[in-house]
Structures are given as structure tokens and as C-alpha cells.
Amino acid sequence: MNTAHSSSIDLEIFPWDDRFKTGIEEIDDQHETLVALVNRVAQFTARGCSRTEMETVFDDLLDYTRFHFGAEEALWRSRITPSHQDVEGHLNAHHDFIDYFKQLRQELIEAKSFPAMDGVLEFLVQWLLKHILRSDRRLAYIVQSIDTGLTQEQAKTRADRRMAGTTHVIIDITLAAYSTLSKNTLHLMREMESKRDRVREIERLSQHNATIMQLAIDFISQPLDNMESAIEDALGKIALLFEADRAGLYEYDDNRNWVFERLSWSKDSDSQPPKRDVWLTEGLGDMVEAHENGKPWIHSDSTVDPPTGLNELLSQLHIQNLVSIPLTNRFQCIGFIVLGKTDAHIHPSEDEYQLLRLFTHLLANVYERQHFELQLERVAHFDSLTGLPNRMLLGDRLRQAMTQANRHGNLLAVVCLDLDNFKHINDRWGHQAGDRV
């Protein structure tokens, strides 16, 4: 076996990750086997195998898919009413996939020339990943909730909550990252069979894709309390991928008059630059306008007379060259990330820009999730009229105080204050004045 052949076999267009697991061991083991079979199809495709070999690989994948679908359907039917809308939709998706694959198999047999496999492989990766992360995971949540004693409708409601919010957005980002990863990896596998001079470049892109995918998966289940440190860790990983010496995460205020530093990272942890919390946007020159148009912006040390604010930013980060990528939500640019070098220029390729955009899109959705969860927490624990803590928050704090008192053998007292004759204020001055009091 030659080296190129061996290297391509080691690569995977669809790397399995344990965080894809649904929590049902039988289904998870079968998913992992399906992923391995899809990777086998890709490896045979890259090698340029014969029609007979490809027919065999397709048959293996089709046979195991039928087996897996049968096992999965039996499990869902054993726990959930067969007429349940979610189960019916799941079964229809299985039938549609089998019909598509049988048609594809027939076209392979009848085709005079070998069909283009890139689209087929992309479909397999996207369909299987979407099916695992969305449909299978949701039904697994329902089954697991039923096993705890909930009714089907209660279990469905709990599953909907777990799959709600920005989880769908992050799954979409994961799908996009995997799509790019599978294309680049398949291309790499083919190149390794014929050329060796571009291997390092494509491997680097594949590594970038894999890192973005890993970060997206990390953020799916990350609790809100850990999100800030997770963002900082993600920023460091991206900076190392692009061989940057410094990195920063910055936010605009609502009126875009100021820029605030949220996080900074340094390759040399002992030389972390001192924090400068705020800059006027007018001092950052064309960078702000580029961000508003959704475009990246590059500064190199050859730029003549940079604006004052940008000069201060460069000085604080101890860099001469930087690339900044806008952080955009559904409505506007809310900030940007900076990657900088102390000496050498930093010029990402178009593919690398695309990956950086995926990363900033991921961060924007994480911000949205943080904002959404903080809003929910405030609505649950504070009165909407007065902004004061409500009975639920009082009960929570009392339980904590009682636990601490019991643990340390202390006494706990609760003091209640009541305002007598408060009704007279409402009667005389009106309810609006009473609310202000």
C-alpha cells in the first residue's frame, strides 16, 4: 500500500463525535457504524475504485441503514404511540431516504459513466447529521422523559424546551461546518492520490473546519455560567489556528459611538496587555464602516498614519498587523474579533475568511442565547412593574439561607414589614402614585 493511499484512508469526511450521542446506547452504536460506512464510501470514491467495488460499498451501507431504521422504529413504537405525529414523521423520513438511496443505487448500475459522488456524499453527511442531531435526539429526549414517568405530551413538551432557543441555530452552524469539512476533506483525499504539494494547505483548512465544528458542538450544551470562559477559550483556539500573537473580542454600544473590550488573548500568557475598556468609534477609521457593511478589515504596518483610536488599539495589543471580522446578529453589527501579529502580516484566504465568519456567527448566536436566558431569568424572578425581587426569588434565597444555617449551626430570622393604611394613598392620589411609592 502506497503512502498516499494510506493517508487518504486515515481521513474522514464525517468524523464521529461522542457528543452526537442521544443517550440510548443501542441507537448511538448504530449511528457510529453508519458514520463509519459513509466514510468508507468517501474513501472508495477518493481512491477511484471500480464500479463493482462501489456497488458493494453502497449495498453494505443500504443494508445496514435498513437494519438501523428497523431497530430505531421498533424502539420508538415500543415507547411512543405509533400514530404520534413525531413518530409518523420520523418513519416517513426513513422511507424517503431508503427510496432515494435505492434510486441512486439503480442509477449507479445503469450509468455508462461513473456518477459524480460529491453531491451524494454531501447529501449523506447532511441528512445523517441532521437526522441525528434533530429528529433522533428529540425522540430520544421524549423516550427518556417517558421512562421517568412523564406522559407523552409532558415528555414532548420537555423535549421541545430542550431543543428550543438558539440550539437550532447552533445545529445549523454545525451542519454548515460539517458541510465545508466534508467537501475539503474529500478534496484532500483525492489530491493525496495524485498530488502532494497542496496537502499541508488543505489539511490546515480541514483542521480549521474541525475546530469550528468542535466549538459549535461545545456551545450547544454549555451552561450559561460557563459561557464566558468558553468564549475566551474559543477565541484562543481560533487565534492559535491562524498563528496570531494576540486576539481580542470587542463590542459596539447601541449607538455605535463606543467600542468596549470584552475579552483579550495573548499567545504569551505572561505578557497579557493591560486592559483599555473603551475607544471612540470615530477614532477607528474605515474599520467601523467595513464592519457595518459586513466586511472584514485588514491593517498592515505599511498603512500610512492610522487613525488615533486604531493606533491605540495596536499599541495596547503590541501588534503591527491585524485582521478584524465583524460580529453580526440578525439586525446589525454588534462587535468584532481581532487577530493580530507582532511582525508578520496576517492575510487569511477566502476559505479562511469563510471559517472566521462562521465563528463570528457562532459567537453572535451565543450572545443571543445569553441575552435570552438572562431575560427569562429576570422575568421569572423579578416583578415587571417595580423591578423588585418576587416571591419565587424570595423562596429560592430563603431555601439557600436555611441550608447555610443548618450546615453551620446558625440561627435564621425572617423579618416581615407591612405598611398599614396604604390603601389611603391609592384612594387619594391614584394607583399610579401608589405604584411609584
User: Is the Cα torsion angle 83, 88, 94, 97 positive or negative in sign?
Assistant: positive
Q: Is 146 inside a domain boundary?
A: yes
CATH number, domain containing residue 241: 3.30.450.40
Other CB atoms within 10 Å distance of the CB of residue 211: 19
Q: Coil, strand, or helix at residue 327?
A: strand
Q: Which residues pair with 322 in a beta bridge?
A: 299, 340
Q: Is 58 inside a domain boundary?
A: yes
Within the chain, how many helices (H) and strands (E) appear?
16, 6
- The rounded distance, in Å, linking the Cα atoms of 366 and 373 is 11
Q: Is 330 inside a domain boundary?
A: yes
Q: What is the pTM of this model?
A: 0.50
- The rounded distance, in Å, linking the Cα atoms of 175 and 132 is 11
Could you give the count of Cα atoms lying within 13 Å of 135 in the half-sphere of its Cβ? Answer: 21
Could you give the count of Cα atoms lying within 13 Å of 235 in the half-sphere of its Cβ? Answer: 27
In the chain, the largest separation of any two C-alpha atoms, in whole Å, equals 95
Q: What is the pLDDT of residue 134?
A: 84
Contact 178, 14 (CB under 8 A): yes
Q: Is 220 inside a domain boundary?
A: no
Q: What is the pLDDT of residue 237?
A: 86
C-alpha cell at 161: 424546551
Q: Is 61 inside a domain boundary?
A: yes
Distances in Å between the alpha carbon of 244 and those of 248, 250, 324, 331, 341? Answer: 11, 17, 12, 30, 5
Residues 425 and 402 in one domain: yes
For 175-202, letters b (16+ CB in 10 Å) and e give bbbbebbbbbbbbbbbbbbeeeeeeeeb
Residues 25 and 61 in one domain: yes
Which of residues 138, 164, 190 is at a domain's end? 164
Torsion of CA 62, 64, 65, 68, to 10 degrees: 160
Q: Coil, strand, or helix at residue 3?
A: helix
**What are the average pLDDT values for consecutive 10-residue runs of the chain, which has 437 residues?**
42 82 91 89 76 83 90 86 72 88 77 63 84 87 89 87 71 76 72 62 75 77 75 86 86 79 79 58 76 83 61 73 83 84 76 81 77 69 75 81 87 80 78 73
Residues 237 and 346 in one domain: yes
Residues 300 and 342 in one domain: yes
Q: What is the pLDDT of residue 1?
A: 34
Q: What is the DSSP string of 145-190?
A: HHHTT--HHHHHHHHHHHH-TTHHHHHHHHHHHHHHHHHHHHHHHH
Structural domain span for residue 428: 391-432
Q: What is the pLDDT of residue 184?
A: 78
Residues 329 and 403 in one domain: no
Residues 238 and 262 in one domain: yes
Residues 350 and 417 in one domain: no
Q: Based on the structure, what is the number of domains in the chain?
A: 3
Q: Is 171 inside a domain boundary?
A: no
Contact 173, 365 (CB under 8 A): yes
Residues 19 and 71 in one domain: yes
Eight-class DSSP state of 385 = T
Residues 148 and 53 in one domain: yes
Residues 373 and 395 in one domain: no
Q: Is 341 inside a domain boundary?
A: yes
Q: What is the pLDDT of residue 259?
A: 81
Residues 365 and 395 in one domain: no
Q: Is 180 inside a domain boundary?
A: no
Residues 14 and 157 in one domain: yes
- The rounded distance, in Å, linking the Cα atoms of 202 and 209 is 10
Contact 264, 275 (CB under 8 A): yes
Which of residues 146, 164, 182 is at a domain's end? 164
Residues belonging to the chain: 437
CATH number, domain containing residue 61: 1.20.120.50
